[in-house]
Amino acid sequence: MTTLQQTILEKKAALADTVSAPLGLLAGRIAEVWPDADAIDLRLQEGLASLPNFLLLYAWDVNGIELSSMVRAKGPDPSWRGRDLSDRPYLKNHLPYKGVMLSSVYLSKYTHEFCLTALQAVSHNNQLLGFIAADFAIKDVLRNAQLAATQEVRWKQFRGDPSVRGTVFMQTRAHSLFDEHIDEAIEQIGRLMREHGVFHSKIHFSSGRCSFWLYDDPYNYRLHGVEEIIDPELCLAYPVRAYPEKAVTPASDIARVLEHFRALRFADETIYLRSGSLNIMNGMIGLTFSCDGSHYMSVREFLLHDIGFWLGTTTGAQAAVRAAN
């Protein structure tokens, strides 16, 4: 299971935990008046307060025919009573005969919004009567901080353009202006990240430019060429700022990361680092090599491996091709 799949399952489990008890209680009260549609509507409306951020509440029988109205915060809509819901995505899977089941995300035909549905069986004397459903708009579900938690950074790699990979051994690294001033440049970049509020930087070694994102202005980025990067007065354009307490990456690791970038840039004349990025807030590294292959990993994982990991015991070119393809 991938990290992304695990994150999705965790968010759905968190939603299930939130709605399980109130839907169970509501199902018990609705069983008492089944199949009286008007009475079911009243019970559904009484249950609204126990289901925050819901979009719709409704009930249907074992044949997939809607019994109730579409109950919304602004009132019930009886126009869907008697409608066949059997073509809905969640009714094509195994339905819960007790407890709660969550559907996959789908586009609602009623609201025309992406949503998911929590399904609860309605039973009486061990006889299944039907189901109640609570639809939740994805945009509302993710307002819950628990459900919107960020996913852990894991190593990922992506192959690049096949036309670039196919001719990789026909090229050699051209010495760029950035290469000529790389020591001055990485020292300045490190200083800006430690002392001047830059939380994300991307270095384009081949084209000689850098992009910086500021902690206090994250929606805009600054772009600098080599001449500006190595200018000692560049720091005057960036306010002095204490290192962010929420940064995942320790300030002491920044210089080590940049030195690794430098080593990978000059490791081989055929396979070499074209660009590298560092985000101290989520602790993520991005690398793109001359073969157009890209890697994304945590700072911790990146620093666990020395340059020998990338170069291996064979030539630098062979090892880097294996890593980036």
SS3 198: strand
Q: Does residue 317 register a pLDDT over 50?
A: no
The one-letter amino acid at 280: I
Kindly provide the residue ranges of all beta strands, DSSP E only, lying in the chain, ordered along the sequence. 56-61, 70-72, 75-77, 100-102, 106-107, 114-124, 127-137, 156-158, 198-204, 209-214, 217-225, 273-279, 284-289, 294-298
**How does residue 3 score in pLDDT terms, banded at 50, 70 and 90?**
low
Straight-line distance from the first to the last Cα atom of the chain, in angstroms, rounded to the nearest whole number: 22
Indicate whether this model's pTM tops 0.85. Answer: no
Most confident by average pLDDT, 165-174, 225-234, 307-316: 225-234
Q: Does residue 205 register a pLDDT over 50?
A: yes
Q: Does domain 3-141 have CATH number 3.30.450.20?
A: yes
pLDDT tens-digit series, residues 289-299:
888 788 899 99
Q: What is the mean pLDDT of residues 249-258?
A: 96
Containing 73, the helix (H) or strand (E) segment is none
Q: List Cα–Cα distances, 220 to 30, 200, 211, 217, 276, in angstroms.
A: 53, 11, 10, 6, 19
More confident residue, 152 or 30: 30
Two tokens at 35? 């199949």
CB 168 within 8 A of CB 291: yes
Q: Which of 279, 295, 283, 292 is nearest to 202 (CA)?
A: 279
Two tokens at 242? 């204490």
The one-letter amino acid at 29: R
Question: Which residues belong to CATH 3.30.450.20 in the chain?
Answer: 3-141
Task: Write a three-state SS string for 242-301.
Answer: CCCCCCCCCCHHHHHHHHHHHHHHCCCCCCCEEEEEEECCCCEEEEEECCCCEEEEEHHH
Q: Does residue 66 register a pLDDT over 60?
A: yes
SS3 181: coil
Question: What's the mean pLDDT when you consider all of the chain?
Answer: 84
Q: Does residue 260 register a pLDDT over 90?
A: yes
Q: Does residue 145 register a pLDDT over 60?
A: no
Q: Does residue 146 register a pLDDT over 60?
A: no
Kindly provide the residue ranges of all beta strands, DSSP E only, lying in 64-146, ordered along the sequence. 70-72, 75-77, 100-102, 106-107, 114-124, 127-137
Dihedrals φ, ψ of 44, to 5°? -65, -40
Q: Which of 240, 237, 228 is nearest to 184 (CA)?
A: 228
More confident residue, 286 or 269: 286
**How does residue 164 score in pLDDT terms, banded at 50, 70 and 90?**
low
